Amino acid sequence: MNNPQLKLVSFDLDGTILRGQILNYAKIPEALHRKISEHDALFSDGKLGYEETLTAQFALFAGMKIEQIAPDPQKLPLIRDLDETLQRLNHVGVRCLILTDNPSFAAEPLKKVGFHDIIGSEVETSNGTLTGRMKLLTNKLEGLQEYCSQHGIDLMSCAHVGDWTNDIVVFKAVGLSVAFNTSDENVSRAATYAVNSESLLDVYRVLEPSLPRR
């Protein structure tokens, strides 16, 4: 198989570059954290659908100011060697993104560690305050396709790293894909490579043959 020349690498958030769920690190009252957990439990039990769960969870943030509740990247349990992996990718001119169904405002602080952009669900704001209006990103491929179209990037020049079933549609469309620390065999089978590691540098080593030379 010929290795594609990568121009962009997208990373899933929850369970991939973050140990846990980003919404758990939003600076909101404990009562709201409990509601988020309750929705997750209902989803796991099949009592709430995927879109229903996201809508119910994101609606909890209505009326709050982003600057007050956004997670602190310094306090997030990020995967080991994330900084170095992003530095190496950025050094050779590869664009690094987060591709997530989470609201983009929750992931936005991670730009400070080296990500260029966030592709995620969008919750409308008014003067920095979140409203109840939202546009869910339940199909990650659609979000990536729109981004690539805007920036003149071919999907075959993209790699995606993820761990859950909603990453499979992206795996099947991009030039190279990595199932990272997944427990789902369907996710592993859909990816070009499956990597289990405590360090993101092991993903970098898989990507390295397809990276631009400098």
Ordered domains of the chain (ranges, CATH): 8-20+71-210 (3.40.50.1000)
Under the banding of pLDDT at 50, 70 and 90, the label for residue 3 is confident
Whether residue 213 is predicted with pLDDT greater than 90 in this model: the reply is no
Largest CA distance in the chain: 52
pLDDT digits (tens, 9 = 90+) for 164-210: 999 999 999 999 999 999 999 999 999 999 999 999 999 999 999 99
User: Phi/psi of residue 9, each to 5°?
Assistant: -125, 125
Neighbouring-strand partners of residue 166: none
Structure confidence at residue 2 as a pLDDT band (50, 70, 90): low
How far from each other are the two terminal CA atoms of the chain, in whole angstroms? Answer: 23
Q: What's the gap between Cα 192 and its chain centre?
A: 18
Tell me the per-residue pLDDT of 40-84, one tens digit each, with 9 for 90 and over: 999 999 999 999 999 999 999 999 999 999 999 999 999 999 999
Note the Cα 190 to chain centre separation in Å.
18
Q: Give CA separation, 200 vs 142, 143, 161, 190, 211, in Å.
A: 26, 24, 10, 20, 16
Can you tell me the distance from the alpha carbon of 16 to that of 116, in angstroms, rounded to the nearest whole number? Answer: 17
